[in-house]
Structure 1
């Protein structure tokens, strides 16, 4: 019988040592020894599946990868030093000079910078499509298009893309479909079920959940992951054993944490929706969300992030941020602590005003990552700050 998500998150562990420890130990070692010359030769020839060097693999990263593969329904994966390291390395491993990326327009600011500043050096181009006009995707495909890429929910607008439609389109055009699943986590959404070839996570966010470590991960089919592994083995962006150990432990509580994140976030969204100083609120499981039905089809719940716009634009937004006392002013998300961010001046500040407008990011937009504090305290702080606007 297949075990449930929460059970796999807790009971998927590396093999116990002779000490029979209950919790997986930390393997702080850069390298591993061999029994003899033949064992060493066979290991480097990849005739044996064993640890050689922690830049290639480590028991702690292997446990972390195995857990997420089971959660996502993936065949294999590789763990990276950060979420952006996973994004960059995945593309760099799969693309050649002259290739083209077809991406949704609403993506993380650093990913946009990767597409516009780094990849052009290697003659890798990109085109953006509107997330809500998938029926026009055919217009954007080029003969050299190799990858179809998207985030869902998007950052910071929490818009929802139809993953099933993307999966069918990618299959029709023989494209590699890569989905950034950071906002949802595998607890709320499994893109591979809808046709994704690869799924990327920033473990820094909800997977860790406490703002302690950096980490990233790409999981998917064996063929693609093998290319990513061989690229990463040479270039060295591997996740450290300590961070892998922390992240694997954190996954044991992912389900219960995300349940609380989602219930708190929905209550905040509902309260803000009726507030007289708010122009609009977007949260995937809010009935007024334009893709509410699609979100319910793809996701178990709405996640921890919501966005809204304060009446009065940038000046009102500054007053709101300066009046916050409990919530943290930070650019992170998915933490136990609730976090409030101004995307136009932080995470997406490198975009031009037009580029931000194309992503739906206004000067007055606020992004909140709703944490695990008591909902009454979260709401009191937000409503008090709005009262100062």
Structure 2
């Protein structure tokens, strides 16, 4: 084996490890900051005397920050460098988790959640772009697999939340919500070293030809933008209030923990073994449409039936599929945009996603405060996901870009 072949082989071997290290980003950005809130919501709702609209408003504050972070993430990546933007935003995200434990004041918590939304969006968007750049060869399906490893971090974060937070609440009662956030902040600090290691080993971004000022053209992704707004609103409404629904039905804390852990495990397994293959093979808008339909099916068991069996069935179906949405969006951006526009394209798609995530919990919370209760609010998810599936089918592929335009250089480390 020649020295060049040995280096290439070593590079391919290390690619999954780099993707796994980057997965520390979504562990914190979504697994802890976004989804752990669902587990802590019943205790915060009871002790802080919130309405469901107020509870949804807290996630809306986080989502508005997420919109700002997503909109500026490409700028931060250019200004600081992709690796530095990823690492610093991850650090700030951990600090915000710790800060959430400090106060019960609604305005202060909303401000903290807003700042956390900004930082976690930068982490997630820049990390997605870094993951999309790991593979520098021409193996068609490998980029989707590496992006899927990165997205699997969300499921890992959900599993960790499902283990730690219910144990904290069980030991300390409703007041334990503060220690739940504290534990998430400590785990976020532990996620920093692998994230730093991986970020420093990703290839440098490609640059635009002829002066580097080529305008980004997002027209080919227009249906995906609309789909992502609807999908974001639909899936996050479920993730925000499903634990509150199970709590209202009398499921004990252990059952709630089991639901969350099963959902997280299903997310990791489904993202890695199923969607890493499907999103790389399906063309046009078929992948996001399929994802929307299966996520919709995953919401139905807790709306039609009560009890632990229905909850676990919902956790398996929904959990195995929901993170395929960001995976599909990232793969589409990689396929339809030139390489130097990947970060900006992913960022703008994430803005669309965040708009949905800002609107969904607030509207769902308002519906949940009416006579129909939380179940009425969660039917909003079903409607939005159904419309999202139809819109996704409008997405079309354009002819593939030549390899020189899509393959970033792999020899330079992005430090």
TM over 0.5: no
User: Rg bigger for which structure?
Assistant: 1
Larger RCO (CA within 8 A; separation ≥ 6) = 2
Return the TM-score normalized by structure 2.
0.28
Higher helix share: 2
